[in-house]
């Protein structure tokens, strides 16, 4: 930029090439900064001044750097620009020694632009305006304003160029849409012509169809007349057949009444025969029972030792170690019913262990549940004299827990891979038909199977209540 373009810009003497010349020029420039203010600069120039100052900060000797900037001076250039740009400009304005050292570095790193500023030939750019401000050149404010105006003009030109390009794009788009619209109109006109021809063909076919429909209707009327005559003839024939069937039905009714009378007589005769046969069978059964009792007394046969459940126990596990889960809805849970049934002679009571404990002592751990159940069954076995077998599920564990087995109670744990329900079914199946057999469970599947095998079922809650009363 020439001095004629910026009247206020003072032409400064050329700076000597050696370091002493830079420092002398820096002192002269620093003394010339009394009337300069960074706040008067346009925003773009002020920001660029901060970038230039922070870039030169890393080259300033450490003894000339203010204490507030010494740490920032060790940063990388990019980090100084981000963090210390504004702080460097403020220190430049307030510390004369630092300002002289910074101007020296700026003149050394931007010698060509500084020379152009001194000669008044610097272009009106943001870089030139920022450097002129930092060097304290006369007319730096005018140069900054000119740079701002140039930048604004450049932005306006760029915006105008973008607007022009957008207008060109919109114009091309309008032309494209116009062409497409014309093509669509031509296509629609062609389709309209095709539709009109198709419509005329449809009208012709419709006329032919109507004529054919009238002919078909005439044929249908004639066929309906023929069908009516045939229906009348068939109706007369059916009426005649119905009359014959009604006569046959009357004869069958008479025959049926006779058969029913004969059947009633036969039933009474059969019932009398069955009563006589039942009486003879009962007399024979009493004879056999008496003979068996006498034979037992005559031979002095001892009472049978061992029970079928012992065989199941031997095949399944050692009493005292095993664990389960069983859930079901309550069945018959009256403790009075259980108390009566368990007093029958030679009764075998089979208990689904975890099915009872998990519905009675819900909050207790499994070992505590087992102990509570066995502690309640001990007095029940002593009072009733019944055989009691408790089955715990241990299908998913290999180790069996230790349990204290009361007198008169058998404790079984199901083998690995076999659930307690299957053990209970096997126990029921091992008992002879006719022995009083009770199963305590609320599992519906177990209830269904053991009832089918002849056992009586009592709900888990019934046993819990009976033990609580003991």
Average pLDDT over residues 214-231: 87
Dump pLDDT digits (tens) for 191-222: 999 999 999 989 999 989 998 898 888 888 88
- In the chain, what percentage of residues exceed pLDDT 90? 23
3-class SS of residue 259: helix
Burial class (CB in 10 A: 0-12, 13-18, 19+), 289: exposed
Residues 354-382 have a mean pLDDT of 93
353 has a pLDDT exceeding 80: yes
Q: Are 157 and 34 in contact (CB under 8 A)?
A: no
Total residues belonging to the chain: 470
At 371 the pLDDT is 94
Residue 451, burial from CB neighbour count under 10 angstroms (0-12, 13-18, 19+): middle
pLDDT of amino acid 78:
80
Q: 192-203 burial string, b = 16+ CB within 10 Å, else e?
A: eeeeeeeeeeee
Separation between Cα atoms, residue 405 and residue 322, nearest integer Å: 13
In angstroms, the Cα distances linking 460 to 326, 353, 367, 407, 410 are 11, 9, 18, 22, 18
pLDDT of residue 318 exceeding 50:
no
Residue-range domains of the chain with CATH = 19-138 (no CATH), 308-469 (3.40.50)
State pLDDT tens for residues 115-140.
777 777 777 777 777 777 777 766 56
DSSP letter at 63 equals: G
How confident is the prediction for the chain on average, in pLDDT? 77
Which run of H or of E encompasses 218?
helix 140-299
pLDDT for residue 274: 61
Say if residues 140 and 132 touch (Cβ distance below 8 Å).
yes
Give the pLDDT of residue 154.
Answer: 62
Whether the per-residue pLDDT at 26 is higher than 70: the answer is no
pLDDT digits (tens, 9 = 90+) for 33-48: 444 566 667 777 777 7
Q: Which pLDDT score, from 0 to 100, does residue 391 have?
A: 96
Question: Comparing 62-66, 126-130, 454-458, which segment has the lowest mean pLDDT?
Answer: 126-130
Residue 312: which H helix or E strand, with range?
helix 308-316
Is pLDDT at 15 greater than 50 in this prediction?
A: no
Separation between Cα atoms, residue 356 and residue 373, nearest integer Å: 8
pLDDT score, position 414: 93
Residue 51 CA, chain-centre distance (Å), reads: 54
| Dist CA 164 CA 371 (whole Å) | 95
Answer with the residue of higher pLDDT: 348 or 6.
348
Cα 388 to Cα 351: distance, rounded to the nearest angstrom: 8
pLDDT given for residue 320 in this prediction? 44
pLDDT, one tens digit per residue, over 244-282 is: 888 888 888 888 888 887 787 777 766 666 665 565 455
Examine the pLDDT at 180 and tell me if it is beyond 80.
Answer: yes
């Amino acid at each position: 930029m020439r001095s004629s373009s910026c009247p206020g810009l003072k032409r400064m003497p050329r700076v000597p090439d050696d370091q002493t010349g830079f420092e002398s020029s820096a002192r002269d420039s620093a003394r010339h900064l009394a009337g300069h203010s960074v706040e008067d600069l346009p925003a773009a120039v002020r920001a660029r001044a901060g970038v230039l100052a922070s870039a030169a900060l890393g080259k300033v000797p450490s003894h000339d750097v203010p204490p507030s900037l010494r740490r920032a001076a060790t940063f990388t250039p990019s980090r100084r620009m981000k963090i210390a740009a504004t702080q460097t400009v403020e220190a430049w304005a307030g510390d004369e020694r630092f300002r002289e050292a910074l101007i020296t570095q700026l003149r050394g790193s931007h010698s060509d632009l500084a020379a152009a500023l001194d000669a008044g030939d610097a272009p009106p750019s943001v870089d030139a305006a920022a450097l002129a401000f930092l060097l304290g050149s006369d007319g730096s404010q005018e140069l900054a304003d000119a740079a701002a105006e140039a930048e604004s003009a450049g932005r306006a030109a760029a915006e105008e160029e973008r607007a022009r390009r957008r207008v060109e794009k919109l114009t091309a788009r309008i032309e494209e849409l116009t062409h497409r619209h014309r093509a669509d109109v031509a296509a629609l006109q062609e389709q309209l012509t095709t539709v009109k021809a198709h419509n005329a063909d449809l009208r012709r076919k419709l006329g032919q169809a109507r004529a054919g429909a009238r002919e078909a209707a005439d044929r249908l009327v004639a066929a309906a007349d023929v069908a009516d005559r045939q229906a009348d003839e068939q109706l007369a024939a059916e009426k005649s057949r119905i009359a014959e069937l009604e006569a046959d039905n009357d004869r069958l009714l008479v025959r049926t009444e006779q058969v029913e009378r004969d059947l009633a007589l036969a039933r009474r005769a059969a019932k009398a025969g069955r009563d006589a046969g039942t009486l003879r069978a009962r007399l024979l059964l009493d004879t056999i029972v008496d003979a068996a009792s006498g034979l037992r007394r005559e031979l002095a046969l001892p009472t049978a030792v061992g029970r079928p459940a012992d065989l199941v126990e031997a095949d399944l596990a050692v009493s005292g170690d095993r664990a389960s889960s069983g859930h079901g809805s309550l069945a018959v849970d009256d403790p009075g019913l259980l108390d009566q049934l368990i007093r029958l002679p030679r009764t075998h009571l089979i208990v689904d262990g975890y099915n009872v404990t998990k519905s009675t002592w819900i909050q207790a751990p499994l070992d505590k549940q087992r102990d509570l159940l066995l502690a309640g069954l001990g007095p029940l076995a002593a009072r009733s004299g019944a055989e009691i077998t408790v089955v715990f599920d241990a299908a998913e564990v290999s180790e069996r827990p230790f349990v204290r087995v009361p007198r008169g109670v058998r404790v079984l744990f199901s083998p690995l891979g076999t659930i307690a329900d299957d053990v209970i079914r096997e126990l029921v199946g091992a008992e002879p038909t006719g022995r009083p057999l009770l199963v305590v469970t609320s599992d519906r599947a177990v209830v269904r199977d053991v009832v089918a095998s002849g056992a009586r079922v009592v709900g888990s809650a019934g046993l819990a209540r009976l033990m609580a009363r003991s």
